[in-house]
């Protein structure tokens, strides 16, 4: 009988995120992750055979955490009306954690450069958009709200712009207002 494995995969992924935040996804190495985690390179290779497999696991975990975070926010809502978008707005009401910004920036670069990872992101976005539209009382308004939330997150997570707390709170309120808006019909302009 072999020894029981004591190295936690999540600890390796945490170390991988720390390396990505510090050096970027392109400079991530299995050696650097092993050093960050305080384990041998062989231990990293045991779970993640290649650098690409490790980056994919970091991205997949980020997707999973994002889904779980939004699901929990939805579960806390008083009404199921437009819950998918209202949960996303609730999550976006808090600015992103500073320590995750460099990870988000670097993972965005990895998504841009890797067709398979980009495909996973596209699939995730399509599922999110479909769910928002299907659960909304005003699908057009909910879609506009989603685009506004994602624009806000994009600016903040990629460290392109910082809003004051008051300005940010106003923007979140106005995005919430969009959820119930029904845009005018394109044919009539009214």
| Domain assignment present for 183 | no
| Domain assignment present for 109 | yes
pLDDT at 96: 85
Domain that holds residue 75: 9-178
pLDDT at 182: 87
SS3 content of the chain, % helix, strand, coil (to 5): 75, 0, 25
**CATH number for the domain that contains residue 19:** 1.10.357.10
- Percentage of the chain surpassing pLDDT 70? 94
pLDDT at 108: 83
Give the Cα separation of 114 and 117 in Å (integer). Answer: 5
| Domain assignment present for 102 | yes
pLDDT band at 109 (very low <50, low <70, confident <90, very high): confident
Alpha-carbon dihedral angle through residues 84, 66, 174, 78, given to the nearest 10 degrees: 50
| Domain assignment present for 97 | yes
Domain tally, the chain: 1
Is residue 184 within 8 Å of residue 151, measured between CB atoms?
Answer: no
pLDDT band at 85 (very low <50, low <70, confident <90, very high): very high
| Domain assignment present for 190 | no
Is residue 134 within 8 Å of residue 83, measured between CB atoms?
Answer: no
| Domain assignment present for 31 | yes
pLDDT in tens, 41-70: 999 999 999 998 999 899 889 889 989 999
pLDDT at 188: 56
pLDDT at 186: 62
| Domain assignment present for 13 | yes
E strand segments, the chain: none
| Domain assignment present for 185 | no
């Amino acid at each position: 009988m072999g020894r029981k494995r004591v190295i936690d995969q999540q600890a390796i992924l945490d170390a991988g995120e720390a390396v990505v935040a510090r050096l970027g996804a392109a400079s991530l190495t299995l050696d650097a992750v092993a050093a960050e985690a305080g384990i041998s390179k062989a231990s990293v290779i045991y779970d993640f055979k290649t650098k690409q497999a490790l980056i994919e696991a970091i991205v997949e975990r980020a997707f999973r955490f994002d889904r779980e975070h939004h699901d929990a926010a939805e579960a806390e809502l008083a009404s199921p009306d437009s819950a998918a978008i209202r949960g996303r707005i609730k999550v976006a009401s808090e600015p992103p954690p500073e320590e995750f910004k460099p990870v988000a920036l670097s993972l965005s670069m990895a998504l841009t450069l890797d067709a398979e990872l980009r495909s996973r992101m596209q699939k995730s976005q399509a599922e999110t958009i479909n769910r928002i539209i299907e659960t909304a009382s005003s699908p057009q308004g909910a879609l506009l709200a989603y685009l506004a939330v994602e624009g806000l997150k994009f600016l903040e997570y990629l460290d392109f712009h910082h809003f004051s707390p008051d300005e940010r709170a106003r923007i979140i309120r106005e995005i919430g207002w969009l959820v119930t808006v029904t845009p005018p019909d394109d044919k009539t302009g009214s």
